[in-house]
């Protein structure tokens, strides 16, 4: 039996749940993945998994949203107004905590990934950074002075408003709220609708990727000018198209036009705009880091 | 002679310097204002003023920029590559500290105003907020988790890239780096160039103000989505046009389109987007707060 402290992490996604038990070094003892079905069934599977590990000291949950993170709120730890059927107003943190008799730390999936990248990933050496995920949606979070940003609710960087050159790109965008915001123009579904095929089926030399890089760079420039991060980590399904990274870096430098005079941007941008250190495990390892952060 | 601790504040502007001596309650014993001439003359006037107050314990300087804020840098406390003649690479903090034998806290003018608004102004009850100044330039700073944002250098919120409807507004913008960024479209000089007259000479019902509010609201929306602030304080000469506030608030609500579901934005936006609590004294009182923050 392990003598080191063990923690549990739950990557609570709209499509799948990933649960893991690990220690403070980031070593994972066991992981399990199952589909997100009804809340009753999915949370019961989660509870059954962690009941095998009586030495777990706390659980961290990085959840799809929207979620209630307001300390002291009667619905803290709930998934709230999600469009996902059956999951509206579900008490995720309370259900797990009561069944397992453990403290539960709860945050957005993005904020959990931020914690994971800080602890074991690509942000270990910086105090101010942003993590963006580009996939079905676009989400962003980060740390300032080594603390998570929450504020009023949490950042919603996917919905930044950007210049839209209608002559170059007449596509109106897919965001039901804002049309041509960042998510409306550059998410996975935007690529599918604009080009008639998912990104996976477009070759690396397709013009889709120059346009995609331009929108992502516009978003990054606004984030850089607002937060002054020391690093930007870009993950999610769309960023598996690795040809995007050099295009985005070049576009960010062109758009800033030398205004931010810092070697991180002028000379070392390969390190400044980077894939996640934890790759596809950023979600569940972030949830594990979240569990540890509450102790 | 005062028994309470006294501090010195310097609002180091490109046009004028304002120096003050005050106590921790924000009471100012004396202030002086003089024009910014050569560094030698201006810093000598600053030193002469504070020499009258031997009980001052520390000086805070909120400076025009760009400035070097990197801890440990050999040019920390310098004004660096400013276009202002004679002021390139001037050691402001070191000159004052050596002449007065006092510790000097040094930051941007915007960050100083942020500290002042937190301590005595419109941000006393929040931990995450942004302060924007709209004048000859547009600058922004803020606190996250009650700590100043610095990161790589410092925020440069004036240069956000925004949607530009060229049919409604064919004006190309005045920013020498980016053309139609926020500062390029909405600063005082942009108003002068677009309408042929300074804002002071345009009546409150002039169409200039609807356009101005639209650009400022676009900037605010991007800041809200990136930082999730609990409040936004808007100061500077342009914001003396108080008819802008209701226009900006309405435009922010319209642009967010109900996406950020929080009463601060949906129901209490008068309090959410607000003028500075310290009015025209935000700069020098911020410098005073900066002096106290270092002790």
pLDDT, one tens digit for every residue, chain A (295 residues): 446 799 999 999 988 999 999 999 999 999 999 999 999 999 999 999 999 999 999 999 999 988 999 889 999 999 998 888 999 999 999 999 999 999 999 999 999 999 999 999 999 999 999 999 999 899 999 999 999 998 988 899 999 999 999 999 999 999 999 999 999 999 999 999 999 999 999 999 999 999 999 999 999 999 999 999 999 999 999 999 999 999 999 999 999 998 888 899 999 999 999 999 998 898 999 999 999 986 4
A51 to chain B, closest Cα gap in Å: 36
Q: How far is CA B87 from CA B28, B106, B108, in A?
A: 28, 16, 15
Angle, CA A157 vertex, CA A266 and CA B144 arms, to 5° = 80
Report helix, strand or coil for B180: coil
CB contact under 8 A, A225 and B157: yes
CA distance to partner chain A, nearest, from residue B9 (Å):
25
Contact A257 B66 (CB under 8 A): no
CATH of B122-275, one of 3.20.20.10, 3.30.420.40, 3.30.450.90, 3.40.50.300: 3.30.420.40
Looking at residue A70, its pLDDT comes to 86
Which H or E element spans position A113?
helix A109-120
**Contact across the interface for A81 and B261, Cβ inside 8 Å:** yes
Distance from CA of A129 to the nearest CA of B (A): 8
Backbone angles phi, psi at A59, to 5 degrees: -115, 140
Find, among A126, A107, A123, A120, the residue nearest to A65 by Cα.
A107
∠ CA B89-B95-B101 to the nearest 5 degrees?
155
**Hey, do A6-109+280-293 and A122-275 end up sharing a CATH topology, with the first three levels equal?**
yes
In sequence order, the 6+-apart residues with CB closer than 8 A to the CB of B294 are: B58, B60, B103, B105
Contact B225 A255 (CB under 8 A): no
Alpha-helical runs (H) found in B228-281: 244-256, 263-266, 269-272
Other C-beta atoms lying within 10 Å of the C-beta of residue A268:
10
B123 and B276 Cβ atoms separated by less than 8 Å: no
Res B81: pLDDT? 84
Beta bridge partners of B79: B67, B90
Residue bearing tokens 């009015």: B279
In 3D space, the residue among B156, B121, B133 whose CA is nearest the CA of residue B289 turns out to be: B121
C-beta atoms of B144 and A140 within 8 A: no
CB A68 within 8 A of CB A114: no
**Strand B56-63 versus strand B231-235 pairing type:** unpaired
CA distance A219 to chain B (A): 9
> For B6-109+280-293, which CATH superfamily applies?
ATPase, nucleotide binding domain (3.30.420.40)
Q: Which among B145, B159, B258 has CB closest to A225?
A: B159
Shortest distance between the Cα of A190 and any Cα of chain B, in A, equals 18
- Would the CA dihedral through B45, B51, B53, B59 be positive or negative? positive
- Count A/B contacts: CB-CB distance under 8 Å: 142
Residue A179 has what DSSP assignment?
B
pLDDT at A291: 96
Q: How many helices (H) and strands (E) does chain B have?
A: 10, 12
Best of A140, A151, A260 to substitute, by most chain B Cβ atoms within 10 angstroms, is A151
Contact between residue B231 and residue B114 where contact means Cβ atoms under 8 Å apart: no
- Distance from C-alpha of A157 to C-alpha of A229, rounded to nearest angstrom: 14
**Closest residue by Cα to residue B116 from B246, B47, B20:** B20
Classify A291 as helix, strand or coil: helix
In whole angstroms, how far apart are CA A268 and each of A231, B109, B277, B284? 11, 29, 41, 37
Is A78 strand, coil or helix?
strand
CA distance A130 to chain B (A): 10
Question: From the CB of residue A193, how many other CB atoms can be counted at a distance below 10 Å?
Answer: 14
* Cβ distance of B222 and A218 shorter than 8 Å: no
Radius of gyration over alpha carbons of chain B, in Å? Answer: 19
A157, B225: Cβ pair inside 8 Å?
yes
**CA dist., res. B87 & res. B228, Å (int):** 36
Quote the radius of gyration of chain A (alpha carbons, Å): 19
Residue numbers in A near B225 (CB within 8 A)? 155-160
Give residue B243's Cα distance to chain centre.
Answer: 21
Of the candidates A199, A205, A194, the residue with the CA atom closest to the CA atom of residue A240: A199
* B259 interaction partners in chain A (CB closer than 8 Å): 156, 159, 177-178
Which segments in chain B show pLDDT lower than 70? Answer: 1-3, 294-295
Residue A17, H or E segment: strand A16-23
Do the bridges between strand B90-91 and strand A6-12 make them parallel or antiparallel, or are there none, so unpaired?
A: unpaired
Q: How far is A73 from chain B (nearest CA, A)?
A: 13
Instruction: Identify all chain A residues contacting B128, using CB atoms and an 8 Å cutoff.
Output: 149-152
Distance CA B210, CA B207 (A): 5
- Which residue from A minimizes the CA distance to B254? A178
* Closest CB from B149, B162, B221 relative to A163: B162
3-state class of A223 per DSSP? helix
Gap from A146 CA to chain B (nearest CA, Å): 10
Domain residue ranges in chain A: 6-109+280-293, 122-275
- Strand pairing of B231-235 and A147-148? unpaired
Query: Which is it for strands A6-12 and A56-63: parallel, antiparallel or unpaired?
Result: parallel
pLDDT of residue B66: 85
Per-residue pLDDT at B52: 97
Chain A residues in contact with B257 by the CB 8 A cut-off are: 177-178
Q: Which helix (H) or strand (E) holds A216?
A: helix A208-227
CB contact under 8 A, B221 and A161: yes
* Helix, strand counts (H, E) of chain A: 10, 12
Q: Do A227 and B151 touch (CB under 8 A)?
A: yes
Q: Which of B68, B155, B226 to mutate to test the interface with A (most CBs of A within 10 A)?
A: B226
- C-alpha dihedral over A49, A54, A55, A56, to 10 degrees? 40
N-terminal to C-terminal alpha carbon distance within chain A: 22
In this structure, the strands spanning B138-144 and A78-79 are: unpaired
Tell me which chain B residues have a C-beta less than 8 angstroms from the C-beta of A225. Answer: 155-160
Residue contact A177–B259, C-beta within 8 A: yes
Cα distance between residue B244 and residue A176, in whole Å: 29
**Which of A147, A154, A229 is the closest to B145 by Cβ?**
A147
- Among B145, B151, B228, most A C-beta atoms within 10 A, so best to mutate, is B151
């Amino acid at each position: 039996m392990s003598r080191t402290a063990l923690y549990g992490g739950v990557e609570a996604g709209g499509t799948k749940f990933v649960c893991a038990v690990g220690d403070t070094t980031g070593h994972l003892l066991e992981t399990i993945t199952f589909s997100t079905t009804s809340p009753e069934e999915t949370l019961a599977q989660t509870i059954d998994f962690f009941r095998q590990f009586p030495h777990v000291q706390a659980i961290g949950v990085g959840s799809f949203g929207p979620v209630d993170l307001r300390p002291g709120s009667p619905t803290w730890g709930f998934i709230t107004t999600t469009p996902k059927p059956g999951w509206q107003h579900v008490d995720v943190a309370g259900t797990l905590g009561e069944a397992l008799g453990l403290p539960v730390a709860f945050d957005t999936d993005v904020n959990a990934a931020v914690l994971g990248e800080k602890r074991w990933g690509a942000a270990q050496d910086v105090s101010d950074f942003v993590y963006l995920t580009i996939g079905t949606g676009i989400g962003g979070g980060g740390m300032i002075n080594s603390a998570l940003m929450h504020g009023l609710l949490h950042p919603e960087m996917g919905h930044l408003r950007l210049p839209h050159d209608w002559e170059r790109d007449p596509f109106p965008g897919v965001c039901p709220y804002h049309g041509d915001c960042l998510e409306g123009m550059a998410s996975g579904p935007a690529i599918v609708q604009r080009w008639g095929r998912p990104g996976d089926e477009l070759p690396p030399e397709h013009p889709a990727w120059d346009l995609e890089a331009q929108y992502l760079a516009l978003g990054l420039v606004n984030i850089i000018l607002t937060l002054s991060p020391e690093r930007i980590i870009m993950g999610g399904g769309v960023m598996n198209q690795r040809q995007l990274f050099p295009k985005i870096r070049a576009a960010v430098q062109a758009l800033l036009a030398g205004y931010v005079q810092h070697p991180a941007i002028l000379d070392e941008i390969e390190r400044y705009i980077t894939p996640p250190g934890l790759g596809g495990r950023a979600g569940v390892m972030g949830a594990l880091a979240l569990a540890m952060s509450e102790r």
